[in-house]
Chain A
Amino acid sequence: MHVTKDSLGGLLFAAIGLSALLMSRSYPAGSALSMGPGYFPTIVSTLMLGLGVLLFLRGLRAPADDTPFAVAWRPLALVTAAIAGFAFLIEFGIIVSVTYLVIAAWFADPNRKARALIVLIVIGILVPILIFSVGLKLPIKI
């Protein structure tokens, strides 16, 4: 037995479907005549669970993928860390959060060049100030 993209994907969606189904069961289902908040989600998550299991089983029997499932951990981790860090730093203003965002994202770039970094930071700070503070007049701390 080998792991295929289909079996992995099937497992993932079956798991989401199952948890959604369990949650939907806790909402009042009502009847067809007057659908409660749980009626429609129950149908959708049941379908999802069923199709997820189907995909999982089919994936188990299928031949191995031509290109196996792979995750580029470096850009995934760095880009996500860049965005998440931005969320925590935005309260300190545009300059702080953008500087962090650009530096973190810069490390994710396989073709990064040191001299580009400072230019990117400067442009990166100016553009949102121009668009959001000056242009759209939104109250964001600079």
Chain B
Amino acid sequence: MLDGLLLGFQVALSLDNLLYCLIGVTLGTFIGMLPGVGPLVTIAVLLPMTYGLTPVASMIMLAGIYYGASYGGSSTAILVNLPGESSSVVTCIDGYQMARRGRAGAALAIAAIGSFIAGCIGTFSIALFAPMLGSAALAFGPAEYASLITMALVATSVLVQGAVVKGLLMALLGILIGLVGMDVNSGAMRFTFGQQSLMEGIDFVVVAVGMFAFSEIIRELSLSHRAVEGNVKVDSLMPTRTELQQSVKPILRGTAIGMFCGVLPGIGATVSSFASYVLEKRCAKDPSRFGHGAIEGVAGPESANNASAQTSFIPTLTLGVPGSATMALMLGALMIHGITPGPNVISERPELFWGLVASMWIGNVLLVILNLPLIRLWITLLKVPYSWLFPMILILSCFGIYTLSNDPMDVLIGAGFGVFGYIVLQLEFSLAPFILGLVLGPMLEENIRRALLISHGDPMVFLESPISAGFLGAAVLLMALLLMPAIRRAKPHLEQEA
């Protein structure tokens, strides 16, 4: 592990990669603060531009956007009671109350310190556990993989907002869209409608931009936007000694919750921040302080969401199975570069894995430096209205899609996915299972095919291996649990993971 980390820092500290890390975290902080523009939209829009970068540089930048956004989201939550990201919703409760009592600086500092500590522990745990998980996964055969993918799809589908059936339907549709084009095994054309441009399949970027950028713009334009009040005062950034003491345990507990939630499919930053808030309230000697500016209510959730942002990379990088929509986009970015994510990545592309891990630690340092002293600058940027942003997002998205293969047809297909995405969002379907299905669908088919080939067509192969049976059992159990009325009623609290 030490050799790996050394290699990682060599890669991450090269001037180019350092620059992309800085760009990523700066952009992440910015969009994290802006309501209406999240990491998903940003990563989708930037995907086509990463073609020109090395795989390491593009992963470093995109990852920076993702965890940078969780830092930025907390600042707006505390200062103006507007969560820039869904993972900062819970920070509004006590963070804004602290700001109203004149402790905005302390709240920001604790959020940043908590995030930083969580980020460090999270990064360290990736370095520690990912290679272990990776080598365990090397023993996985096609049957185990098919079951693992099925479990990831089911878990994401049933845990997102809305009915279980709706999540599953979106996952199935994603799988179908992923099958469009020529079947690699038989050469048969599937779902191409005789169209030339569909023969090579629908580019992942086209679908991602259409579903996440276009549909989101349509949706945002139909909502009325709250103007941001400008009179925010940030006094001293130094927390008092008592505030620091009160925060130590919540930060550590939040980190633990976040790390655990991050590796599970379907549960991510948002859920972990809620879980941490509930836990802190329960642990507190005087729970009535919560809601009136309790610093524990900032320290815990902010640590939790950053820890889970870090550890969610573990299954993505080691198993090639993403647990959330953002991670699915990351995986797509890797595939653009011809890298098949899976347990072999760590051994075959050590510079990629360790470079990313080291850059995440560097990124966390950069974020603390960027956020605290520059907070006043960030607040002025907050006033950029959506009227200025969305035309730029549209332009970059259109060019991004068009430049994939200089085919205007791709732009039209993207527009189609924008309309479809908007309609299903209005029907209260979630997009996360769809994008997961899109990425994992072809892998699922291939692994089922191989597993059945090895077993001479006997479907029992998925149940005979204990690991495979375990995954399938977990999927069935999750579905059964979520269909129970008591839990179904409690589910609205599990906000959709961005």
- A residues with CB within 8 A of B: 5-6, 8-9, 12-13, 16-17, 20, 23-24, 27-28, 31-37, 40-41, 44-45, 47-48, 51-52, 54-55, 58, 69-72, 74-76, 79-80, 82-84, 86-88, 90-91, 97-98, 101-102, 105-106, 108-113, 116, 120, 123-124, 127-128, 131-132, 136, 138, 140
On whether the beta carbons of A33 and B415 are closer than 8 Å, the reply is: no
Pick from B169, B444, B459: contact of A32, CB under 8 Å = B459
Q: Give Cα distance in the complex from A80 to B387, angstroms.
A: 17
Known contacts A41-B179, A116-B387: A23-B191 contact under CB 8 Å: yes
Residues in B neighbouring A82, C-beta threshold 8 A: 394
Q: Give Cα distance in the complex from A23 to B402, angstroms.
A: 29
Known contacts A16-B173, A41-B190, A90-B408: A33-B453 contact under CB 8 Å: yes
Residues in A neighbouring B65, C-beta threshold 8 A: none
The 5 closest A-B pairs by CB, nearest first: A72-B222, A33-B457, A75-B221, A32-B457, A87-B411
Residues in A neighbouring B30, C-beta threshold 8 A: none
On whether the beta carbons of B221 and A131 are closer than 8 Å, the reply is: no
Q: Give Cα distance in the complex from A127 to B428, angstroms.
A: 35
On whether the beta carbons of B409 and A79 are closer than 8 Å, the reply is: no
Interface membership of chain B positions 409-424, coded 1 if the CB is closer than 8 angstroms to chain A and 0 otherwise: 1011011001100111
Q: Is B186 located at the chain interface by the 8 A CB criterion?
A: yes
On whether the beta carbons of B221 and A110 are closer than 8 Å, the reply is: yes
Q: Give Cα distance in the complex from A117 to B429, angstroms.
A: 34
On whether the beta carbons of A27 and B395 are closer than 8 Å, the reply is: no
On whether the beta carbons of A76 and B49 are closer than 8 Å, the reply is: no
Q: Give Cα distance in the complex from A6 to B169, angstroms.
A: 12
On whether the beta carbons of B172 and A48 are closer than 8 Å, the reply is: yes
Q: Give Cα distance in the complex from A36 to B449, angstroms.
A: 9
Q: Is B176 located at the chain interface by the 8 A CB criterion?
A: yes
Q: Give Cα distance in the complex from A32 to B448, angstroms.
A: 9
The residue on B at minimum CB distance from A108 is B221
Interface membership of chain B positions 175-188, coded 1 if the CB is closer than 8 angstroms to chain A and 0 otherwise: 11001000101101
Known contacts A23-B191, A131-B49, A138-B403: A79-B394 contact under CB 8 Å: yes
On whether the beta carbons of A70 and B169 are closer than 8 Å, the reply is: no
Known contacts A51-B172, A71-B423, A132-B403: A83-B387 contact under CB 8 Å: no
Q: Give Cα distance in the complex from A37 to B187, angstroms.
A: 8
On whether the beta carbons of B412 and A31 are closer than 8 Å, the reply is: no
Interface membership of chain B positions 208-245, coded 1 if the CB is closer than 8 angstroms to chain A and 0 otherwise: 00000010011101101100000000000000000000
CB distance from A83 to the nearest CB of B (A): 4
CB distance from A90 to the nearest CB of B (A): 6
Q: Is B392 located at the chain interface by the 8 A CB criterion?
A: yes
Q: Give Cα distance in the complex from A69 to B385, angstroms.
A: 28
Q: Give Cα distance in the complex from A98 to B221, angstroms.
A: 19
Interface-facing stretch out of B32-40, B160-168, B267-275:
B160-168
Residues in B neighbouring A76, C-beta threshold 8 A: 218, 419, 422
Pick from B391, B428, B445: contact of A124, CB under 8 Å = B391
Counting chain B residues whose Cβ lies within 8 A of the other chain, the interface size class is 35 or more
Residues in B neighbouring A87, C-beta threshold 8 A: 398, 402, 408-409, 411-412, 415
24 contacts between A and B (CB under 8 A): A5-B426, A20-B176, A20-B191, A28-B188, A33-B457, A35-B448, A37-B190, A40-B448, A41-B191, A44-B176, A48-B169, A55-B165, A69-B426, A72-B222, A76-B422, A79-B418, A80-B418, A82-B394, A83-B412, A83-B418, A87-B411, A91-B408, A120-B391, A140-B399
CB distance from A117 to the nearest CB of B (A): 9
Q: Give Cα distance in the complex from A102 to B52, angstroms.
A: 27
Residues in B neighbouring A88, C-beta threshold 8 A: 408
Q: A9-B424, A101-B391, A101-B398 are in contact. List 13 more A-B contacts (CB 8 A).
A: A35-B445, A35-B448, A44-B172, A54-B165, A55-B165, A55-B166, A55-B169, A76-B419, A79-B214, A79-B221, A79-B418, A128-B395, A128-B399
Q: Give Cα distance in the complex from A69 to B448, angstroms.
A: 38
On whether the beta carbons of A127 and B221 are closer than 8 Å, the reply is: no
The residue on B at minimum CB distance from A65 is B428
CB distance from A39 to the nearest CB of B (A): 8
Residues in B neighbouring A98, C-beta threshold 8 A: 395
CB distance from B301 to the nearest CB of A (A): 28
On whether the beta carbons of B448 and A51 are closer than 8 Å, the reply is: no
Q: Is B456 located at the chain interface by the 8 A CB criterion?
A: yes
On whether the beta carbons of A13 and B426 are closer than 8 Å, the reply is: no
On whether the beta carbons of B163 and A75 are closer than 8 Å, the reply is: no
On whether the beta carbons of B221 and A109 are closer than 8 Å, the reply is: yes
Of B188, B224, B225, most buried by chain A (CB within 10 Å of CB) is: B188
Residues in B neighbouring A131, C-beta threshold 8 A: 49, 396, 399
Residues in B neighbouring A136, C-beta threshold 8 A: 49, 52, 403
Q: Give Cα distance in the complex from A91 to B169, angstroms.
A: 38
Which residues of chain B from 19 to 49 have any CB-CB distance to chain A below 8 Å in the complex?
A: 49
Q: Is B390 located at the chain interface by the 8 A CB criterion?
A: yes
Known contacts A101-B398, A102-B395: A83-B414 contact under CB 8 Å: yes
On whether the beta carbons of B453 and A34 are closer than 8 Å, the reply is: yes
CB distance from A41 to the nearest CB of B (A): 6
CB distance from A33 to the nearest CB of B (A): 3
On whether the beta carbons of B188 and A37 are closer than 8 Å, the reply is: yes
Q: Is B5 located at the chain interface by the 8 A CB criterion?
A: no
Q: Give Cα distance in the complex from A97 to B214, angstroms.
A: 17
Residues in B neighbouring A110, C-beta threshold 8 A: 221, 224
Known contacts A37-B185, A79-B217: A6-B190 contact under CB 8 Å: no
The residue on A at minimum CB distance from B437 is A44
Residues in A neighbouring B412, C-beta threshold 8 A: 83-84, 87
Q: Give Cα distance in the complex from A103 to B85, angstroms.
A: 29
Residues in B neighbouring A28, C-beta threshold 8 A: 186, 188
